[in-house]
Amino acid sequence: MPVDFLNFQHLYYFWIVAREGGISCASKVLDLSPSTISAQIGQLEKALQVKLFRRVGRNIRLTDVGQIAFRYAGQIFGLGRELTHALEGWDTEGPFSLQVGIADAVPKLVATKLLQPAFAVSSEIRLTCREGRPELLLAELALHRLDLILLDAPADPGSTIRAFSRLLQECAIAIFGTPDLIRQHGQGFPESLEGAPILLPTPDSSIRRSFARWSESRGLQPRVVGEFEDGALMKAFGEIGAGLFPAPIMIAEGLKRQHGVKCLGSLEGTHASYYAVTVERQLEHPAVRAICDPAHGAEPPRWRSASPAPKIGHSTRVGLPRKEK
């Protein structure tokens, strides 16, 4: 079927259904009846001469061809959003936004340091930060709802999302605690951690994994008194003396100012790593460039094309279609 006959309205409905996981959920997003959405997708399947969904019990699942169509649709509508921003004059001569996703395992003080170069690009930047689990943030990144995400590990190379990971910071891990706990367990560090009360991130954190390998290699068994998905909550309990806790040594001064804790010592052979993860875009965001390559942060910020402009052979409308009642 010639591409110039593709109905992007139907393709958008298909994309929303696949993204939301079903027609009933998509009907709430689109504000349309399920029967209307089913009919539109049926017309798309007829035009493409393929089955995009298969029924599994009372649910529907993407077929293999549907998976391919979903990936292409995400790129198409992502480009539509980029085009909208570009035509609205989204440049550094006026206010512009930066949408960042931050994994729960990335400490707030680390995120602040890593994102700081963005503010050198423009005094009128508007930064929006969202926190969440890496897999959810990656999905938002693939849909171009985020410009960049910060993770404590590279994006999974086996993921269906073609993401690019860049190491921004790597530093040693240290143990922190209140002055009282430091006095109690300061002699003979690091062997003094044997039996010491400790607060840890959950096992999916790179700091937790690195700490576990380190303590096992030393034959040490601290007494775990708390596990936390939220690093800020872990530090809050550390502030009241509930236990010692590990954190990147690069934020030692910030932890002292915010929580009144001191550094007991660094753990030899351990490290915490933080990555900027992006997807390929036709327009390179100047703030993302500054974050990923701070050495270029002082250059005059500008938009530049990441690849040559495509040749247009047919007049087609690519973007976010309007809702039809």
Indicate if the pLDDT at residue 89 is higher than 60. no
Q: State the architecture of 173-270 in CATH terms.
A: 3-Layer(aba) Sandwich (3.40)
- Cβ contacts of residue 88 below 8 Å, gap of 6+? none
Model confidence over 105-149: pLDDT tens digits?
899 999 999 999 998 887 778 899 999 989 889 988 887 788 899
CATH no. of 3-87? 1.10.10.10
Q: Which of 59-68, 181-190, 299-308 has the lowest mean pLDDT?
A: 299-308
Q: End-to-end CA distance of the chain, in Å?
A: 28
Q: Which of 12-16, 26-30, 139-143 has the lowest mean pLDDT?
A: 139-143
Closest CA to 21 of 64, 72, 56, 68: 56
CATH topology identical between 99-162+273-296 and 173-270: yes
- Strand pairing of 223-228 and 163-171? unpaired
Q: Which of 56-70, 75-89, 163-177 has the lowest mean pLDDT?
A: 75-89
Predicted TM-score (pTM) of the model is 0.64
Residue-level pLDDT at 234? 95
Do 204 and 210 contact (CB within 8 A), yes or no? no
Secondary structure of the chain in the HEC alphabet? CCHHHCCHHHHHHHHHHHHHCCHHHHHHHHCCCHHHHHHHHHHHHHHHCCCCEEEECCEEEECHHHHHHHHHHHHHHHHHHHHHHHHCCCCCCCCEEEEEEEECCCCHHHHHHHHHHHHHCCCCEEEEEEEECHHHHHHHHHCCCCCEEEECCCCCCCCCCCEEEEEEEEECEEEEECHHHHHHHCCCCCHHHCCCEEEEECCCCHHHHHHHHHHHHHCCCCEEEEEECCHHHHHHHHHCCCCEEEEEHHHHHHHHHHHCCEEEEECCCCCEEEEEEEECCCECCHHHHHHHCHHHCCCCCCCCECCCCCCCCCCCCCCCCCCCC
- What is the residue extent of each domain of the chain? 3-87, 99-162+273-296, 173-270
Model confidence over 267-309: pLDDT tens digits?
999 999 999 999 877 557 888 989 988 654 434 333 333 333 3
Q: Which class in CATH covers the domain with range 99-162+273-296?
A: alpha beta
* pLDDT (average), residues 143-171: 87
